[in-house]
A and B are shown apart, each in its own frame.
Chain A
């Protein structure tokens, strides 16, 4: 299942990023390492994450909120659900305020990007990240790390959308891979969307359902985004 040299290539990029990272939260994140690709999913510590942004352009859109919740292959730890609100960097904030009508009230408990990463990175350390359409999460976290630390963000990611397509391929409607559609297919309840925390929970539940259906003892290498 693992593409040839996939594990080796990932480890090399991870190690290179570790060496490049300055002392601080990002370096600490890398120092915690990542689980081996051969680790059975039963033994993985995972964290479902969802970012709310005001656009899809990693470099010019603002990161507004991160929601995340810790999980394992068959359960989600509801008590670990957490939301971090982020104040857009000055250059981006004016437009965001206009577009999102972010009020002073909403910004009151928001952190700036650097403080947000300092809060977030320790929670991600040593874990496998889970997201639906993980391009958003990888892209925005990478862009934020480059802005704050000047170096990239490399982490083991599971993308529930990619996993669905790979494990259960079938003809689908144009929006057939959307989180809400896939959840309905697995008998999971409908949630209110566009809330980082709820979407993270929704994505985590989808992964549990996918793993329950697959039921073939996969390893980290099998479920990782390629």
Chain B
């Protein structure tokens, strides 16, 4: 007889929005039992910063503005937007003020029910982990702590330049509130603008975009003779010409708006800046380093260009760029530096006597480089190579390359895996023999040391030399079960710190010796798992995320496991990049080691989840490839 609460309209609505879509009927019903429907008139304060917050809120209709504590940054939430959860997850007071921008209907779910769902449903929890707004908020926090976003580091990245510098177009087209929807559409078409600021009495009172015409007119079946005032977004967020670009970008990302009217001190609209304008600016600055590298006339100029990489990285991290893109960017710069220094070497020494390829191993080969990477490289020498006649040239070229890279911040490899070492200047056949040795008569130590060679990628020269070699190596590896079991066991020897955080949480004062190494303890195991699957199934990709996707596609690994590991990989690298950005801002050398005491509770809890997940997957790997025997 009892009607389940999910028959309510509320359940239907929630189900359509991302965090709730994956919940079972029972889970949804539990949330609805703790749900209150509230209505806030425009201008009403829903949450006050600094006060206890007991509700997780979802905007049902209307619009809510979050004013980020102690800043002028705003986030605008529309239908389906969630707020109030960071303080519930942190168990602290609200950091943001939430104000109804329009008359709004808001669903508020009581804290205990929200937390119960979070702890009982990993996917629901995951939504609040990867939420873009949350990431941006973290970036904003970081930015505040490190003093970025103020002057000082002004010219290192365009993100700190004033937004006024983006304004190109003059003579802006405006509408007025009484204009009909149809007149506005005609005007916008004639002027080829996607956004129309609405002014009354010389003041900006609203904004209408293409999207509004779609959603609020066509979608809603509104009469075309309706006044613009009926569909405009009233009192839009604005910026002044001297707002830093980064601040504007974050504002736009948080409020999910794509256009920002720029007002001069007199209150006149001087321009509309779109998110594309901003992103292309950020992009061109990030690209600036690559450009400077390719134009460098000597190794010194390459080093000058790469010396800006740390600042570019902090900018990208602060702008909320995800870890995968950050590391692809860092890798692109690394690759550019290798290629340019090699080219300069060839210019100095004359053309190479025989074809050859420059290969790299490890993180650069996987396009997963972070700051502070060592170099790992070698040459594959092609047809006609005669060591007596040609080795002097390649030894000299290698010296030029490795010295240049070292000067550019890619330190000499402590294990001497560099082209300057004759062991790594080999013909393709010799390389094949070395690989065969590892594969056919594996021993645990050799396997541990050899794994990075299986992530081999050609950076320059005769890339076909590498392709052939890789095919041969992967074919040999895939059929050798004993070798695969060694690789799997080697992966499983990594010390994933499982009890780490429990202990850590028990003793409040962190003791000096306990340092977390994100690279060896979290990133390397995931890389190892992906590599093992790649070798077993002859997957050509070197990139970890691509290998995981490939492993799932050929069912070497379950889809869920691949997705979880990929998310875990992204999260851990996100922590690393944020950590590195902070180190840079403090003037320290970026590293992979961090003191767990500086982690936020949020990061700490999610890292603990990540470690548990990695451990489980390592166990699975061992039973899949090493027969469960260690």
**How far is the CB of B36 from the nearest CB of chain A, in Å?**
4
Do A78 and B61 touch (CB < 8 A)? Answer: no
Contacts known (A78-B37, A82-B3); A187 close to B8, Cβ less than 8 A? no
Closest Cβ of chain B to A91, distance in Å, is 24
**Is B39 in contact with chain A by the CB < 8 A criterion?**
yes
Is A167 on the interface with B (CB-CB < 8 A)? no
* Interface flag for A205 (CB, 8 Å): yes
A76 and B103 in contact (CB under 8 A), knowing A81-B8, A197-B3?
no
In the complex, which residues 75-105 of chain A have their Cβ closer than 8 Å to any Cβ of chain B?
A: 75-79, 81-84
Determine the chain A residues whose CB is within 8 A of the CB of B442 once the complex forms: none
Report which of A77, A81, A187, A208 forms a contact with B102, defined as CB distance below 8 A: A187
Stretch from A26-34, A173-181, A188-196 forming part of the interface with B: A188-196
Q: Does A198 contact B (CB under 8 A)?
A: yes
- Whether, in the assembled complex, A186 has its beta carbon less than 8 Å from a beta carbon of chain B, the answer is yes
Chain B residues with Cβ under 8 A from A187's Cβ?
Answer: 61-62, 102-105
B128 near A: Cβ within 8 Å?
Answer: no
Q: Does B61 contact A79, Cβ atoms closer than 8 Å?
A: no
Residues in A neighbouring B41, C-beta threshold 8 A: 212-213
At the interface with chain A, which of B27-35, B329-337, B455-463?
B27-35
CB-based contact B36/A75 at 8 Å = yes
Interface residues of B in 63-92 (CB under 8 A from A): none
Using known A-B contacts A187-B102, A187-B104, A198-B8, determine if residue A78 contacts B35 with beta carbons closer than 8 Å: yes
Complex contact A205–B37 (CB within 8 A): yes
**What are the interface flags for A67-79 relative to B under an 8 Å C-beta threshold, 1 for contact and 0 otherwise?**
0000000111111
Interface size of A by CB at 8 A reads: 28
Instruction: Return the contact of B39 from the options A78, A79, A192, A212 (Cβ within 8 A).
Output: A212
A42 at the interface (CB under 8 A from B): no
What residues of A have a CB within 8 angstroms of the CB of B7 in the complex? 81, 83, 197
Q: Mark B4-48, 1 if CB is under 8 A from A, else 0.
A: 010111100000000000000000000011111111110010000
Q: Does residue A209 face the partner (Cβ distance < 8 Å to B)?
A: yes
Quick check: A189 and B61 within 8 Å, CB to CB? Answer: yes
Q: Does B60 contact A (CB under 8 A)?
A: yes
Which residue from B5, B38, B61, B107 sits with its C-beta under 8 Å from A81? B5
- Given B9, B39, B62, B104, which contacts A201 in the complex, CB threshold below 8 Å? B9
| From A74, A77, A81, A204, contact of B3 by CB (8 A) | A81
> Any chain A CB within 8 A of the CB of B1?
yes
For the complex, would chain B's binding face be called helix, strand, loop or mixed by DSSP majority?
mixed
Contact in complex: A78, B32 (CB < 8 Å): yes
Q: Are A74 and B39 in contact (CB under 8 A)?
A: yes
State A120–B102 Cα separation when bound (angstroms). Answer: 37
Q: How far apart are the CA atoms of A82 and B7 in the complex, in Å?
A: 9
Residues of A within 8 A of B60 (CB): 189
A78-B103 in contact (CB<8A): no
Task: Please indicate the chain B residues that have their CB under 8 angstroms from the CB of A75 in the complex.
Answer: 36-38
CA of A41 to CA of B10, assembled, Å: 25
Q: Is the CB of B105 within 8 A of A205?
A: yes
A43 at the interface (CB under 8 A from B): no
Q: Are A79 and B5 in contact (CB under 8 A)?
A: yes
Q: Whose C-beta in chain A lies nearest to the C-beta of B40?
A: A212
CB <8 Å contact, A78 and B107: yes
Contacts of B104 in A (CB 8 A): 187
Q: How far is the CB of A197 from chain B (nearest CB, A)?
A: 6
Taking a contact as CB atoms under 8 Å apart, the answer to whether B105 and A197 are in contact is no
Nearest-Cβ distance from residue A183 to partner chain B, whole angstroms: 10
* A79 partner, pick from B1, B33, B62, beta carbons under 8 A: B33
Q: Are B9 and A198 interface neighbours, CB within 8 A? A: yes
Complex CA distance for A84 and B3, rounded to whole angstroms: 8
Contacts A77-B36, A79-B33; is A109 near B1 (CB within 8 Å)? Answer: yes
Beta-carbon contact of B9 and A79 below 8 Å: no
CB distance from B10 to the nearest CB of A (A): 5
B104 to A, closest residue via Cβ: A187
| Alpha-carbon distance between A212 and B39 when the two chains are bound, in angstroms | 8
Within 8 A of A (CB), among B212-238: none
Query: Nearest chain-B residue to A206 (Cβ)?
Result: B39
Which residues of B are found within 8 Å of A79, using beta-carbon distances? 5, 32-35
Inter-chain contact B9/A192, CB cutoff 8 Å: yes
Minimum CB–CB distance for A22 against chain B, Å: 24
Tell which of B2, B10, B62, B102 touches A78, judged by Cβ atoms closer than 8 Å: B10
**B8 touching A186 by the CB < 8 A rule?**
no
Query: How far, in whole Å, are A186 and B62 apart by their CA atoms in the complex?
Result: 10
Per the bound structure, the CA–CA distance linking A205 and B107 in Å amounts to 12
- The answer to whether A197 touches B39, judged by C-beta atoms less than 8 angstroms apart, is no
CB distance from B5 to the nearest CB of A (A): 6
A202 to chain B: closest residue by CB? B9
Contact indicator A201/B3 (Cβ below 8 Å): no
Closest residue on chain A to residue B79 by CB atoms: A189
**B96-111 CB contact bits vs A (8 Å, 1 = yes)?**
0000001111010000
How far, in Å, is A86 (CB) from chain B's closest CB?
12
Q: Does B3 lie within 8 Å of A208, measured CB to CB? A: no
Cβ of B8: which chain A residues have Cβ within 8 Å of it?
78, 81, 197-198, 201
Question: In whole angstroms, what is the CA distance A74 to B40 when docked?
Answer: 9
Distance of A69 from chain B, by nearest CB (Å): 8
Interface residues in A107-124 (C-beta closer than 8 Å to B): 109, 111, 119
Contact, CB under 8 Å: A78 / B105: no
A200 closest partner in B (C-beta) = B8
The residues of A that contact B44 with a CB separation of less than 8 Å are 212
- B3, B9, B10, B104 pick with most chain A CB within 10 angstroms: B9
Residue of B nearest to A119 (CB): B1
Q: Which residues of A contact B37 (CB under 8 A)?
A: 75-76, 78, 201, 204-205, 208
Q: How far is the CB of B2 from chain A (nearest CB, A)?
A: 8
For the complex, give the distance between the alpha carbons of A44 and B610 in Å. 49
Q: How far is the CA of A111 from the CA of B62 in the complex (A)?
A: 39
Residues of chain B within 8 A (CB-CB) of A188 are 39, 61, 105
* Bound Cα distance A210, B490 (Å): 69
Q: Chain A residues near B9 (CB, 8 Å)? A: 191-192, 198, 201
> Which residues of B are interface residues toward A (Cβ below 8 A)?
1-3, 5, 7-10, 32-41, 44, 60-62, 102-105, 107
Q: What are the 3 tightest A-B residue pairs by CB atom distance, in nearest-first order?
A: A79-B33, A187-B103, A76-B37
A-B contacts, 28 of them at CB < 8 A, read A74-B38, A74-B39, A77-B36, A78-B8, A79-B33, A81-B8, A81-B10, A81-B32, A82-B3, A84-B1, A109-B1, A187-B102, A187-B104, A187-B105, A188-B39, A188-B105, A189-B60, A191-B9, A192-B9, A197-B8, A198-B8, A198-B9, A201-B8, A201-B37, A204-B37, A209-B103, A212-B39, A212-B40
* 9 additional A-B residue pairs with CB within 8 Å, beyond A75-B37, A79-B34, A81-B10: A78-B36, A81-B32, A111-B1, A119-B1, A187-B61, A197-B7, A201-B9, A201-B37, A208-B37
